[in-house]
Structure 1
Amino acid sequence: MNNLLVLTDFSKSAKHAAVYACSLAKQIQAKIILCNVVIVPAEVPLAGFVAWPLEESDVLLKESEVELKKLKMQLEKMDDYPIPNSDISFRSDPGILLDVVKDISAEIQIDFVITAAHGSGLGAFLLGNHSRGLIDDIGTALFIIPPTSKIALIQKIAYATDFEDPDHEMKFIRKLIALANLLKAEVFITHVYKESDVSPAFYKSVQQIMLDISCENDYPKIHYKAIKNVSNKKGLDWLMAHGDMDLLVMVHHAQGFLDRIIRGSLTQKLAGSDAIPLLVFKKAPAP
């Protein structure tokens, strides 16, 4: 059974992400682990800083546990997405967000981390320090849930790529197909490119990837969609406006498709696509 680590700060956006996680858990038969990270300053103060009383730290952790219990009860009582009591657990951990996520992932097999997009959509989330750190530094696949995204069955998934790293595409497409199989969802492998930048050999390699996918996977709901002669910005813009997708999936690695989106003006386009959750797979760095 899959494990979903759902990060929460008890905000409205975070509670919406938790409800989304319940819907997802029901579809893929997953367990939910609610997690609130309590930032507690070091017990030994640095020069010029005032020590944080340990009593205050204990109060924060106790308050966190109370709120987690409330959230757990609220999720269990939802009529639309009922989750059995044994399938929702919670934990309140002191420390720094990234360190806590890594520590939990080392203790338990975490299949997906789920977090809310705060601010003005995904663009604001991708530019934030904590969020960018989650994308950059954790290896677990990350769901980013905008506050206005619909809570419904995931039926159509878009995997957006420029196929600049075709050798690694198959690895992540296989992971996505495994998820899509559980969801019984259609997968649209969406190739965004400029025709002038694509050589015949490159295009042939993409065709080979699609052929390999068809041969390897006994899953009929895989489609190929080409968006050509446009920039990454315009291609993703078209996909958001006309694709009618329930989930957008991208792979993050240095100088890759998503990395260029994060660094460039396309973050502003993502800021306007509040309704579509994003799933980010992380490519491991080269040894």
Structure 2
Amino acid sequence: MVWPMDYDSVISKSKRALKDFAHLIVDSNGLPDKAFPKVSVKVKVGDISDLVREAVLTTEVNLAVMGLSGAGDMRRFFLGSSTRDMIDAAQLPLMLIPKTVKFSPFTKIAFATDLSTADFEAIQSLAVLASASNAELLIVHVVENGMGPERTGKINDFIARLRTDINYDKIYYKNVYNKDVEGGLEWLSEHGQIDCLSMIHRPHDFLDGVLKGSHSQKMARLTELPLLVFPQGHKDVVS
């Protein structure tokens, strides 16, 4: 026999638990009142990606934050459906926080680029975010198949545009050489002294997406650092 779920009771209990958690966050943050944002809670029944989309349409939300639960070894093989759906459906930047991460101000943010001119909107947004804590902004390109003349020219053009279009004095560029993108970004996360990795979610075709996932979804499985994922074509500034 299947008993009907008492949604009102579940919502009420969840809301009380969230309020207690919100009070704990506020009481233990250690920041001046003016530096700490207002904390409110909301509980609804439904798919998480749909609820976040609704929040974006009805409130002034410009960043979603989501925890990555589960042991690191398990997450390397299986990415939760909620996280995967959020990456696919999010219409605003999504910050994914692994369970083991401890809070500290960012000192160095890395952005993975494929040298697309469409990346400059996200880079400008990251420059604003980095300036809030005077952090370095490292723009990284993973070179998978060697450096031919065409690739070298594209990199030089990209760096030249960085210098003219992005008004931030702590921005740098670096090539990382590896056989694949995820391997290069894992190496950077372990050896590049970065606090946060950022990239744009570019969905592949349907079959490839189901079987393998995008680079951002793969990194969500692998990362031990906060991962900031921008939806493709997003233009608003994260602040």
Query: What interval of TM-score do these two structures reach, taking the shorter chain for normalisation?
Result: 0.7 to 0.9
CA distance in 2, matches of 1:234, 1:99: 32
Show the counterpart of 2:17: 67
Give the counterpart of 2:109 among 137, 157, 169: 157
| Match 2:132 to one of 182, 187, 197 | 182
Q: Which amino acid counterpart does residue 191 of structure 1 have in structure 2?
A: H
Query: What's 2:232 paired with?
Result: 283
| Runs of at least 5 residues in structure 2 that lack an aligned partner in the other structure | 206-212, 235-239
**Which residue in the other structure is 1:93 paired with?**
44
Correspondence 1:169 to 2:119: yes
Distance 1:123 1:224 in 2: 33
Q: Say whether the 8 Å CA contact 1:252–1:259 is kept in structure 2.
A: yes
Paired with 1:260 and 1:237, the residues of 2 have a C-alpha distance of: 12
SS in structure 2 at match of 1:140: coil
Q: CA deviation at 1:161?
A: 2.8
TM-aligned CA deviation for residue 73 of structure 1: 1.1
CA 1:267–1:217: 2 relative to 1, 3 Å: closer
Q: Is the contact between residue 201 and residue 216 of structure 2 (CA under 8 Å) also seen in structure 1?
A: no
Distance 1:100 1:267 in 2: 21
1:162 maps to amino acid: D
> C-alpha displacement at 1:218, in angstroms?
2.4
Distance in 1 (alpha carbons) for counterparts of 2:22 and 2:47: 23
How does the TM-score come out when normalised to structure 2? 0.82
Pair 183,86 (structure 1): closer, same or farther in 2 beyond 3 Å: closer
The 3 A distance-change label for structure 1 pair 66 and 240 is: same
More off after superposition, 109-118 vs 122-131: 122-131
Q: What are the superposed Cα offsets for residues 87-145 of structure 1, whole Å, 9 maximum, x if unpaired?
A: 11111122221111111111012111001101123972872111100000111111111
Amino acid paired to 2:98: P
CA contact (8 A) 1:122 1:146 kept: no
Give the structure 2 partner of residue 111 of structure 1.
Answer: 62
Q: Alpha carbons of 1:212 and 1:99: their partners in 2 closer, same or farther (altered >3 Å)?
A: same
Measure the CA separation in 2 of the matches of 1:96 and 1:205: 42
Counterpart-to-counterpart distance in 2, 1:260 and 1:248: 12
Of 157, 162, 165, the match for 1:216? 165
Q: Distance in 2 between matches of 1:221 and 1:246?
A: 15
Partner of 2:214: 259
Alpha-carbon separation, structure 1, partners of 2:178 and 2:8? 58
Separation of aligned partners in 1, 2:74 and 2:86: 14
CA distance in 1, matches of 2:19, 2:33: 14
Equivalent position amino acid for 2:164 in 1: C
Which residue of 2 is the match for residue 228 of structure 1? 177
Query: 1:135-150, aligned counterparts within 5 Å?
Result: 135-150=87-102
What is the one-letter code of the residue matched to 2:20?
K
CA contact (8 A) 2:118 2:233 kept: no
Aligned match of 1:134 in 86, 90, 95? 86
Q: Which moved more, 1:115-124 or 1:137-146?
A: 115-124
- Cα RMSD between the aligned structures? 2.8
Measure, in 2, the Cα distance between the counterparts of 1:255 and 1:123.
Answer: 24
Where does structure 1 differ by over 6 angstroms across 4 or more consecutive aligned residues?
none
Question: Which of 1 and 2 has higher RCO (CA within 8 Å, sep 6+)?
Answer: 2
Residues 143-167 of structure 1 show CA distances to partners (whole Å, capped at 9, x for unaligned) of 111111121111101112333xx13
**Hey, what does 1:77 align to over in structure 2?**
27
Letter in 2 for 1:69: K
Deviation at 1:230, TM superposition (A): 3.7
Specify whether residues 153 and 167 from structure 1 end up closer, same or farther in structure 2 by C-alpha distance, changes over 3 A only. same
Aligned partners of 2:109 and 2:197 also within 8 Å: yes
How big is the shift at 1:79?
4.9
Q: Is the 8 A contact 1:139 1:284 kept in 2?
A: no
